[in-house]
Structure 1
Amino acid sequence: MYRRADLTQWSNAVDRHLNELVKSGYLEKLSVGLYYAPKKSIFGVVPPEDESLVRTFLKEDDFLITSPNAYNSLGVGTTQLYNVRVVYNHKRHGEFDLGGRKFFFHAKHRFPKKLTQEFLLVDLVNNIENLAEDKTEVLTKVLAKAKTMDARQLRRTVTSYGNTKAKSLFSSLITQKNNVAYAR
């Protein structure tokens, strides 16, 4: 992966040289100012990995890539498949087409380094309005799933990443679990 700006130190005519490299097949243009050296397999050209693409686009490693499809692993009644990649980061906000793939960048102050079941559950509640499933049924199953999770970890996750709706939904459950823990 290369950014045009990164290549200016090696060329006095960057745009001309980039065009030559693209025409010869050594590089492919993904977006304005973003290029990659394609790898070939027996099936054809292999696209760059999402992480590498986003890392080069943002010029940093502090981001989290997820998708509403990840909610399906929670077992709370979400079954839809979405062709959406969501990128939580500190710099960009909006929809970007990178190499023919759409990424929805959300500038957030805080997000975890990696996906956890607790974060996915809180993120699902944060984004419930964007899902195609029956919201009431999913939220009922979310509460049942939350009861099976580590109360401390869930409380930390809700406090750190939950929006107002998530904090409200989980508040009674977290308080109830805390009271049980203190009674022991």
Structure 2
Amino acid sequence: MTALNDLKKHLQPGCAYRRQDLQRWSNSVDRHLQQLVKEGALEKAAGGVYMVPRETRFGLAPAALETLVQAFLKDDRFLVVSPSAYNGLGVGTTQLYNEPVVYNLKRHGRFKLDGRMVDFRRRPSVPRALTQEVLMVDLLHNLDRLAEDRAEVLPRALRRARTMDPGKLRQAAHDFASARARRLVDQAVAA
């Protein structure tokens, strides 16, 4: 068995790998990566990050964004949020956004993963799951970045926040948000 075939047998569809992850199965990782990309067995998703396309009934599809982010960060402590999810809160937002936000403990900035821009924002702590309370705190934290009129969205958001679990809302704000967003949450809960 050749070294390239040995490397291929370790690759799983829908998975993402860092270059150094693949070194243990290859004696010439750069050459093998180049060959695998050329033949379509691997795709380069970012600098040093490769993914194995997965087969769907519609053809080949990239690895899930969460899989790519985990390989890119070398960490599983992150939260992917699409600002489009704010539309589900019922506060009058209707815009669709193409750039997901990744809250994490390591990287900050905009990076391209598999041809798609992703906004990485570093935080001292990151919630494990995207709950309605975390999403509301994120909306309040990012009011100035919204395409909608802040003056129209804020009162609706505060009214909606009052219907949520105040303990979970305060905890999300404390763990995750800016001082301004924490004040807005306190204002909503106190009313």
Q: CA deviation at 1:7?
A: 1.6
Residue pair 2:123, 2:176 contacting (<8 A) in 1 also: no
**2:184 counterpart (163, 166, 169):** 169
Q: Deviations over 1:122-175 (max 9, x none)?
A: 111111111010111100001110121122222222222231222222323333
**2:140 counterpart (125, 137, 155):** 125
Are 1:71 and 2:89 an aligned pair? no
2:174 maps to a residue whose letter is T
**Structure-2 change in CA distance of 1:164 and 1:36 (3 Å):** same
Q: CA deviation at 1:94?
A: 0.6
Q: CA deviation at 1:10?
A: 2.4
- Name structure 2 gaps, 5 residues minimum: 1-15
Structure 2 counterpart of 1:56: 71
1:136 maps to a residue whose letter is A
- 2:162 and 2:102 map into 1 onto residues whose CA distance is 28
Structure 1 counterpart of 2:52: 37
Query: Structure 1 vs Structure 2: percent identity of aligned residues?
Result: 51
TM-score normalised to structure 2 length: 0.86
- 2:185 and 2:37 map into 1 onto residues whose CA distance is 52
Q: CA deviation at 1:119?
A: 1.1
Structure 2 counterpart of 1:6: 21
- Name structure 1 gaps, 5 residues minimum: 177-184
- 1:132 and 1:8 map into 2 onto residues whose CA distance is 45
Residue pair 2:170, 2:182 contacting (<8 A) in 1 also: no
| SS of alignment partner, residue 92 of structure 2 | coil
**1:92 counterpart (90, 100, 107):** 107
Structure 1 counterpart of 2:96: 81
- 1:69 and 1:161 map into 2 onto residues whose CA distance is 19
1:59 maps to a residue whose letter is K
Q: CA deviation at 1:4?
A: 1.0
TM-score normalised to structure 1 length: 0.89
